[in-house]
Amino acid sequence: MSTLEVSPVEPLSGQSSHPVINDFSIQVATVNGSGSQTANSVLMRSIFQMGIPVSGKNMFPSNIAGLPTWFTIRASKHGYIGRRKEVDFLVAMNPETAREDVMKLDSGAAVVYDAPLKLSELRSDLHFYPVPFDKLVAPVCPDAKLRKLVRNMIYDGVVSWLLSIEMEEIRRALVKQFGKRKAKAAELNWGAAKAGFEYAAKTFAKTDPFRVERMNETAGKIIIDGNSACALGAMFAGVTVVTWYPITPSSSLVESLIGYMKRFRHDPETGKATYAIVQAEDELASIGMALGAGWAGARSMTATAGPGISLMSEFIGLGYYAEIPAVIYNVERVGPSTGLPTRTAQSDLLFTAILSHGDTRHPMFFPCSPEECFSMSIEAFQFAEKFQTPVFVMTDLDLGMNNWMADPFPYPEAPIERGKVLTAQDLERLGGFARYKDVDGDGVGYRTLPGTNHPAASYFTRGSGHNEKAQYTEREDDYINNMDRLAHKFEVMRQHVPAPVVHIADNAHIGFVAVGTSDYGVRESVDQLKSEYDIDASYLRLKAYPFTQRLTDFIRRHDRVYVVDQNRDAQLLGLMRLEFDAELIAKLRSVRYYGGLPLDARTITDEIVRQEGK
Amino acid sequence: MSTTAPPPPKKVNRIGLEVLNYKGSKTTLCAGCGHNSISERIVECFYELGVEPYTVAKFSGIGCSSKSPAYFLGLSHGFNGVHGRMPAIATGAILANSKLKGIGVTGDGDTASIGIGQFMHLVRRNLPMIYIIEDNGVYGLTKGQFSATADLGSTLKTGVHNDLPPFDCCALALKWGATFVARSFSGDKKQLQAIIKTAISHQGLSVIDVVSPCVTFNDHEGSTKSYSYMKEHEFMLQELDYVPSYEDISVEIPEGGVMDVPMHDGSHLRIRKLDRDFDPTDRFAALKMLEEAEKKHEVLTGVLYVNTNKPTFLELLNLEDAPIATLPQSKVRPSRSVLDEVMEELR
């Protein structure tokens, strides 16, 4: 084919003379199920191994195989690892989307593409590098059945040559990816990467400005997805009963946990498990089992996403009212209904906060990074038992399913605390107890566990009206007293939830409030606002609901506070409206994004500039 | 000289407790409700076998039947959950503490209507617990609507005719994995006692469907769950005797027509067959017999199936012997070196 003989494109004027080093994004467009995940992970990891801050985001369809998928790698010498909207370097492998992908690029971008797609005809302001993938893969992969999977590794080699990624790092990343047991697969892929590298070296003249240079910003760091980090947190929190029903994007949380528990939570002598993990028949059962286990004294958890949260609402009301500890991971995805199952959002905030009928309030924790997925998981289990209530750990698809670089997790030093549980000895000393009596003034009663060998231990748990002694009642005063105590307990939680992270800019009139993964976009936007518009902005990142006094103080301090929401209806702002007086509410503004992709800084900056009238 | 006579010695069981220690609060169900008889049987059985009340956990869903755990075993923890979802709560609790003897009480609406899914999965898991269905074919608390066990052609008090076939909870339990399945009648004290006692000894899921007439909404002519219907249509399969482990079984040598089923705890279920030849270890035969009985409008009562060999859900999970809920930190938080190892893998 003539396209294979294409000569290197003419350099675009004025581009290559200004190299762009360690500050660009690569987008790889492939077909779902074509095995591109390995090639993409290896590419990301090799840049990470060269010491350059990097992030990888997988934008994939709800499909097993055949639909388009994009993987974006961002290298940032400044350490910005949020999504960047602009693509600098495209690897176009998918015939379905290639033309549109190319047309969307900014002028000056580079395109590595499958030669038969003839993309260079489309535009004259881009750097094109055609690669005959099929021709290159045949000699390095004699087994025709494997070629589809190995083919993608060729672009790793091509991109390495173009961006000056050291091939030794590609090899190391491959070994890491496949492990010792799959050395043969690693070798096969290595051959493909080398073929790509050699082809690029002898065929192309580099004309685009993008390249990497070794830095020292990732030494000692790890790469992990948020779901695995939550799983590790749960294991080190001492979880004993795990119940679940598969749902994207939370499934890999429990699957990762299963892997770790099998390795590290069996008695070394007897081989017996110190935990139970049950794949339930649905989310109704998984939350029911988690609550049954929590009632019987286990540290229990389940993991789900929006549709599962909807199904769990009935049981969560029981957990709240009967006061049973459990940890529920909500890895948020785009709703309503089935929504966009493989896209990210923070659109369950309002619903989760008051999940179930009647008056209810639930604590929510908002980790923003793998480090916090780990540490706040441990805190969530402590908190659930301390306050005897379901606790929600709210992450999202972006945090849960994408790989992030992170600092290694510190070993939890605080001992496991089981909250107010009376033993037979306690009962002997006290002579008895009333399950829902506020003895200590914090709204939290003392409980006993079934199986406690004492005639005063038993009580009857119910979701119907109950008095201090857990007896059935429909009395007006009993009902009100109990509900008021529950409200008081929620107030006490404010002093005990993880504190927000606050950055005050000295001259700032405006401030940001955000949760979870909005952090990456907000932090970068704060810098953009300063450097591009000379706007100073403070920032408070909430780590939990209920809110604390520090949020009130932060709003008071600023003229306008922009509440960043990854949902249509400004739910985080809505939660704040429920609590604050008119004076504070009047200061609140909304920045919303709800397109299903991780929130990027430019979207926030543009919106602030518009609202600030700059 | 003082003449005060010493009080008569209190009657106690083998662990020194009185029957009072096995009772609960006063029932709030209707006078004559079959459910109250079942509660009494539960009290008697746990008392007579000398089960430590603190080792028992009671579970229920929502409905008249589900209120009853408050009326027995007051010294045991109880959990009245949400409608149709008692199996999930019980499963979680028993996973957390495998030493608990679980007893669930549910109704036909709770199990066969809203809770059919959880019931089937409980059966499939063979979770070791007792699951009693107090089956009256109607919803009492909402004033007399049909449930999914109401027989085809039966009528409500208001004359409304049931056009749909019933779920037979025993057939479902048999087909999908319960290891002790029995049907009884709330009015049959002896049979129900033997069945409940066997269930206490059984290691596996015991499903006991007890026809328990609702005197307020379903005890009329046209009902197939009434006292009079049972009088005419009950067909007792066997005469049952439960011989506890602490009694000498050799005293009474089984003769012809008698089958002794040894239970895990050393007790025996002694089954003396009546008119019909039937082997309760044969699941297929039991299903066939239920199918035939339905055609003849017979309500078969007795032990339909017993299997003491199938592993329970807890055995499949290979759990620690001690309750996992209360294992010490040293058992449930891996060491520092484990975290170091995992971090190294992720570098």
A288 in the same domain as A326: yes
Q: Cβ of B144 under 8 Å from any chain A Cβ?
A: no
- Alpha carbon distance A184, B165 (integer Å): 60
Give the distance from residue A288's alpha carbon to the nearest chain B alpha carbon, in angstroms.
5
Residue A355 contacts B where some CB pair is shorter than 8 Å: no
Domain closes at, from A475, A493, A511:
A493
Nearest to A190 by CA among A162, A155, A221, A153: A153
Rounded Cα gap, residues B29 and B36, in angstroms:
7
Question: Is residue A411 one of the residues assigned to a domain?
Answer: no
What ipTM was estimated for this complex? Answer: 0.96
Residue A419 has pLDDT above 60, yes or no: yes
Of A293, A412, A459, the CB nearest to B92: A293
Helix (H, G, I), strand (E, B) or coil at B94: helix
Percent of all residues in chain A with a pLDDT value above 70, rounded to a whole number: 97
Range of the domain at B258: 19-321
What is the pLDDT at residue A5?
42
The alpha-carbon gap from A315 to the nearest alpha carbon of chain B, in Å, equals: 7
Letter for the amino acid at A115? A
The phi and psi torsions of B67 (rounded to 5 degrees) equal: -75, -25
- Nearest residue in A to B121, CA atom: A281
What residues contact residue A563 under an 8 Å CB cut-off, 6+ apart?
A512, A513, A514, A570, A572, A573, A576, A588, A589, A590, A591
Residue A413, pLDDT > 70, answer yes
Please name the amino acid found at residue A493.
M
pLDDT of A17 above 80: no
Share of residues in chain B with pLDDT > 70 (%): 97
Does B321 touch chain A if contact means CB atoms closer than 8 Å?
yes
Q: Which helix (H) or strand (E) holds A28?
A: strand A23-31
Q: Which residue has the tokens 């009857």?
A: A460
* Tokens read off for A568: 């249509």
Q: Does a structural domain hold residue A558?
A: yes
Instruction: Please name the residues in contact with B303: beta carbons below 8 A apart, sequence gap of 6 or more.
Output: B180, B181, B182, B195, B198, B237, B238, B240, B269, B271, B280
Give A267's contacts in chain B (Cβ within 8 Å).
320, 331
Q: Flag if B89 and A411 touch (Cβ within 8 Å).
A: no
Do residue A399 and residue A447 come from a single domain?
no
Of A493, A511, A540, which residue constitutes the final position of a domain? Answer: A493
Looking at beta carbons, which residues of chain B come within 8 Å of A319?
none
Please choose, from the candidates A302, A267, A425, the residue with its C-alpha nearest in 3D space to the C-alpha of residue B327. A267
Query: Do A206 and A138 fall into the same domain?
Result: yes
Q: Are A125 and A30 found together in one domain?
A: yes
User: How many of the other CB atoms lie within 10 Å of CB of A56?
Assistant: 24
Instruction: Nearest by CB to A289, from B53, B57, B92: name it.
Output: B92
By Cβ distance, the residue of A236, A452, A472 closest to B339 is A236
Q: Are A453 and B97 an interchain contact pair (Cβ–Cβ within 8 Å)?
A: no
At A348-390, the pLDDT tens digits run 999 999 999 999 999 999 999 999 999 999 999 999 999 999 9
DSSP letter assigned to residue A296: T
The mean predicted confidence, pLDDT, of chain B is: 94
In this prediction, residue A519 carries a pLDDT of 98
Residues A284, B336: C-beta atoms closer than 8 Å: no
- Residue A119's domain comprises 2-211
Using a CB–CB cutoff of 8 Å, tell me whether A318 touches chain B. Answer: yes
Say which CATH number the domain at A322 has: 3.40.50.970
Closest among A113, A86, A108 to A16, alpha carbons compared:
A108
Whether the CB of A239 is below 8 Å from some CB of chain B: the reply is yes
Same domain, A84 and A140: yes
Strands A510-515 and A560-565, sheet pairing: parallel
Per the CB < 8 A criterion, the answer to whether A126 and A111 are in contact is yes
* pLDDT tens column, A490-506: 999 999 999 999 999 99
Residue A12 pLDDT more than 80? no
**What's the structural domain count of chain B?**
1
Question: CB contacts < 8 Å between A and B, how many?
Answer: 222
Mean pLDDT, range A438-463, rounded to an integer? 98
Residue A288 has pLDDT above 50, yes or no: yes
Whether the predicted pLDDT of A6 surpasses 60: no
- How far does B341 lie from chain A, in Å, by closest CA? 11
What is the mean predicted confidence (pLDDT) over B167-172?
98
B318 vs A contacts (CB less than 8 Å): 271-273
Measured between beta carbons, the chain B residues lying within 8 angstroms of A285 are: 85, 87-88, 91, 117-118, 121
HEC sequence for A251-280:
HHHHHHHHHHHHHHCECCCCCCECCEEEEC
Domain count, chain A: 4
Q: What is the pLDDT of residue A290?
A: 98
Spatial distance between the Cα atoms of B89 and A254, rounded to a whole number of angstroms: 20
pLDDT of residue A80: 96
* pLDDT attached to residue A114: 96
> Any alpha helices (H) in A16-152, and if so which ranges?
36-49, 98-103, 133-140, 147-150
Tokens of A475: 């009395």
User: Distance (Å) from the C-alpha of residue B176 to the closest C-alpha of chain A?
Assistant: 15
Which residues from A are below 8 Å from B90, CB to CB? 292
Substitution target from A176, A281, A423 for chain B, most B beta carbons within 10 A:
A281
Give B126 to chain A, closest Cα distance, Å: 14
Residue A9: pLDDT band with limits 50, 70, 90: very low
Q: Please check whether residue B69 touches A, CB under 8 A.
A: yes
Give the CATH number of the domain where residue A595 resides. Answer: 3.40.50.11610
Q: Looking at chain A, how many residues does it have?
A: 614
Whether residue A292 and residue B93 make contact (CB cut-off 8 A), yes or no, is: yes
Q: Where are the beta strands (DSSP E) in A478-613?
A: 501-503, 510-515, 537-542, 544-545, 560-565, 588-592
Q: In a mutagenesis test of the B interface, which of A274, A283, A318, A435 is the best target, namely the one with the most B β-carbons within 10 Å? A: A274
**Would you call A236 and B70 a contact, using CB atoms and an 8 Å cutoff?**
no
Which chain A positions have a beta carbon within 8 Å of B339's beta carbon? 232, 236, 409, 411
> In this predicted model, what pLDDT tens digit does every residue of B199-222 receive, in sequence order?
999 999 999 999 999 999 999 999
Under an 8 A CB cutoff, do A297 and B323 touch? Answer: yes
- Residue A43 falls within a domain, yes or no? yes
pLDDT at B247: 84
For chain A, helix (H) and strand (E) counts, in that order, are 21, 23
Decide if A273 touches B, using CB distance below 8 A.
Answer: yes
pLDDT interval class at A63 (50, 70, 90): confident
Mean pLDDT, to the nearest integer, of A435-457?
Answer: 98
For range A431-446, the mean pLDDT: 98
Of residues B221, B104, B70, the one with CA closest to residue B159: B221
A415 domain residue, yes or no:
no
Is A4 a residue whose pLDDT tops 60? no
Give pLDDT, residue A266.
Answer: 98
Q: Which of B57, B85, B319 sits opposite A272 (nearest CB)?
A: B319
CA distance A589 to A513: 10
Strands A364-365 and A544-545: antiparallel
Residues A342 and A482 in one domain: no
With H, G, I as helix, E, B as strand and everything else as coil, classify residue A562: strand
Domain match, A31 and A160 both: yes
Confidence of residue A515 (pLDDT cuts 50, 70, 90): very high
Mean local confidence (pLDDT), B145-152: 94
pLDDT tens digits for range B92-130: 999 999 999 999 999 999 999 999 999 999 999 999 999
Measured CA to CA, the distance from residue A10 to residue A204 in angstroms comes to 11
Contact A234, A257 (CB under 8 A): yes
Q: What is the dihedral of CA A474, A475, A476, A480, to 10 degrees?
A: -80
In-domain check, residue B41: yes
Q: Same structural domain for residues A166 and A275? A: no
Residue type, A24: F
B57 touches chain A (CB under 8 A): yes
Cβ within 8 Å of B, A 383-412: 408-409, 411-412
Mean pLDDT of B222-239: 95
Structural domain includes residue A378: yes
Domain shared by A234 and A203, yes or no: no
- Kindly report, residue by residue over A161-198, the tens digit of the pLDDT: 999 999 999 999 999 999 888 989 999 999 999 999 99
3-state secondary structure of B57: strand
> Over 70: is that where the pLDDT of A10 sits?
no
- The reply to whether A278 touches chain B by the CB within 8 Å rule is yes
From chain B, the residues in CB contact with A415 under 8 A are 329
For the residues A303-320, what does the mean pLDDT come to?
A: 98
Query: How many CA atoms lie within 13 Å of A447's alpha carbon, on the beta-carbon side?
Result: 25
Cβ of A458 within 8 Å of Cβ of B88? The answer is no
Residue A349 contacts B, CB cutoff 8 Å: no
Query: Which of A469, A493, A517 marks a domain boundary?
Result: A493
- Chain A residues touching residue B322 (CB < 8 angstroms): none
Q: Is B13 at the interface with chain A, CB within 8 A?
A: no
For A409, which residue in chain B has the nearest alpha carbon? B343
A3 pLDDT above the threshold of 50: no
Q: Quick check: A1 pLDDT over 50?
A: no
With b meaning 16 or more CB within 10 Å and e meaning fewer, what string describes B85-103? bbbbbbbbbbbbbbebbbb
Q: Which of residues 70-89 of B touch A (CB under 8 A)?
A: 70, 74-82, 85, 87-89
A505 in the same domain as A487 = no
How high does pLDDT run on average in chain A?
95
Predicted confidence at residue B3, as pLDDT, reads 64
User: Which residues are within 8 A (CB) of B105 and not within 5 positions of it... i.e. 6 or more apart?
Assistant: B38, B58, B59, B60, B65, B66, B68, B69, B132, B134
Q: Report pLDDT for A8.
A: 46
Instruction: For chain B, say whether A172 makes contact (Cβ under 8 Å).
Output: no
Burial state string for A379-389 with b = 16 or more CB within 10 A and e = fewer than 16: bbbbbbbbbbb
Q: In angstroms, rounded to a whole number, what is the distance separating the alpha carbons of residues B293 and B297?
A: 6
- H helices within A300-358, ranges in order? 306-322, 349-353
Residue A337 located in a structural domain:
yes
Question: Is B346 inside a domain boundary?
Answer: no
Whether residue A230 contacts residue A207, with contact meaning beta carbons closer than 8 Å, is answered with: no
Q: Is residue A367 part of a domain?
A: yes
Overall average pLDDT of the A62-81 stretch: 92
Bridge-based pairing of strands B129-135 and B145-146 is unpaired
Q: What is the CATH number of the domain that holds B317?
A: 3.40.50.970
- What are the pLDDT digits (tens) for B125-144? 999 999 999 999 999 899 99
Domain membership of residue A110 (yes or no) is: yes
Tokens linked to A108: 């000056």
- Sheet containing B238-243: give its strands across: B238-243, B268-273, B258-262
Asked if B92 and A220 come within 8 Å (Cβ–Cβ), the reply is no
A200 and A141 inside one domain: yes
d(CA B339, CA A409): 8
Which A positions 422-481 lie with beta carbon below 8 A of chain B? 448-455, 457-464, 471-472
Residue A2: band (very low, low, confident or very high) from pLDDT cuts 50, 70, 90: very low
Same domain, A507 and A574: yes
The answer to whether B20 faces chain A, any CB pair under 8 Å, is no
User: A236-240, B157-161, B322-326, B341-345: which range is least confident on average?
Assistant: B157-161
